[in-house]
Amino acid sequence: MLRRPVDALKKQLQKRTKRAYDATKDIFSRLLGAGIVLIFVLWTAVFLYGSFYYAYMPQVSHSRSVHFQINTSCEANQKTCSYPFANISLVKDGRDQLLLKGQPYKVLLELEMPETPVNEKLGMFMVEIQFYSKGGVITKTSSRAVSSMLRYKSPLLQTITTWFFSPWLLFGFLEQKQTVLVELFSQYYEDAYLPSLGALISLKLPGVDNAINVYSAELIMQAHFTGLRYILFYWPITSSMLGIGTIFFFLALVALFSWHRFLWTPSSDKNDGLQPVRFERKLEAETASEGRQRNVVDQPETVGGRSRLEDLEDMNDSDPELLDVQDAEFTRDDNEVEQDIPGASASVSTVRKRTV
């Protein structure tokens, strides 16, 4: 008599344990899938932001070495034709243009000049640049003389500086030279139809007998950023965090909707085939039906030392008509459960089949 309640309790415990294991496994698999999706979305956001930055931001600076030449075919009394000049090619590797259209640039000429008596007596001189496009068409021209001379040093200051830095000067760690920056264009815009392919640079000296000494020269074109490019360049960490975060938010939103639509909806139950919408109601119906079964098994009515359940089993074996009566009782009970818990008809039908 005690074996059946114990077996029923054991089966009930096994069923609940299996249900808890399946629920835990399902939650773990969903969390793992969500983590993989989030990592994929994050790397996608980083890739999209990097692609946008690479396509939108131009190169910050372009530099070309300037090698001056002097015309030696002039007459002895014609010094003006021997101004130092240089022809620079801006494009490389067969490219059509160097600078980005619509982007302002600052054009500078960097001159490295020694502190020689010739340069000290030179004073101010003119620097002229001419940009030309395909076919030698001049597109932009500029001439500047502001800040084109060496910084003045008194003889006393030069003597003190020479004695103080003499060890470094002797071993070649320092040189007596100055770097002169000449701003040729404050805002240079590339022509959209005639992009510049090269530039002509000349140094025009003030007198016919004066010369100039130059160690090296370099043409520098620096991008002058404004608006969004200014923010992206001068605040790279903040802008990257905001950009990646914004892209990640929208991608995560799309992934969340797709996840909820196709994957997160609970699948149909394998036992009774209820739809996911009725999932919670089905669980309530199963709980109610199992409670009724447990009451019948755990609290059997005994008559003369025999339980009512054992008497019913003996009567079923002897009288087949009693099965119809039991079916009628289960049908009436099922109808009551369906009225109390809507949507649980399939679950109650399953419980009835298992009990019979």
CATH number of the domain that residue 222 is part of: 2.60.120
- pLDDT for res 327: 53
pLDDT of residue 29: 83
* Full residue range of the structural domain in which residue 336 is found: 266-356
Considering the domain architecture, whether residues 195 and 83 belong to the same structural domain is answered as yes
Domain check: are 180 and 273 in the same one? no
Same domain, 66 and 158: yes
Residue that is last in its domain, among 168, 202, 227: 227
Statement to judge: residues 146 and 71 lie in one domain:
yes
pLDDT of residue 136: 86
With H, G, I as helix, E, B as strand and everything else as coil, classify residue 162.
Answer: helix
| Residues 280 and 349 occupy one common structural domain | yes
Q: What is the largest CA-CA distance in the chain?
A: 147
Residue 36 shares a structural domain with residue 76:
no
- Whether 153 and 38 map to the same domain: the answer is no
- Strands, sheet with 126-132, edge to edge from the N-terminal-most edge strand: 85-89, 198-204, 126-132, 138-144
Residues 250 and 213 in one domain: no
Cα(44)–Cα(47) distance, integer angstroms: 5
pTM to 2 decimal places: 0.59
Please check whether residues 46 and 77 belong to one and the same domain: no
Write down the pLDDT at residue 207.
63
Give the pairing of strands 126-132 and 198-204.
antiparallel
User: Looking at the structure, do residues 133 and 146 belong to the same domain, yes or no?
Assistant: yes
Which residues, in sequence order, are bridge partners of residue 218?
65, 110
pLDDT tens, per residue, the chain with 356 residues: 556 677 777 777 888 888 888 888 888 888 888 888 889 999 999 999 999 999 999 889 999 999 998 877 665 555 555 678 899 999 887 777 888 888 999 999 999 988 888 887 777 888 999 999 988 899 999 988 765 567 778 888 888 988 888 888 888 888 888 888 889 999 999 888 889 999 999 988 776 555 788 899 999 999 999 889 999 999 999 999 999 999 999 998 988 888 777 765 554 444 444 444 444 555 566 666 666 555 544 454 444 545 554 555 555 555 555 445 555 554 555 555 445 444 445 444 544 444 44
- Number of domains the chain contains: 3
Beta strand residue intervals within the chain, DSSP E: 61-66, 85-89, 105-114, 126-132, 138-144, 177-188, 198-204, 216-223, 302-303, 306-307
What was the pLDDT predicted at 48?
95
Specify whether 276 is located in the same domain as 203: no
Say what the pLDDT of residue 295 is. Answer: 54
Distance between start and end Cα atoms, the chain: 19
Check whether residue 72 and residue 214 sit in a common domain.
Answer: yes
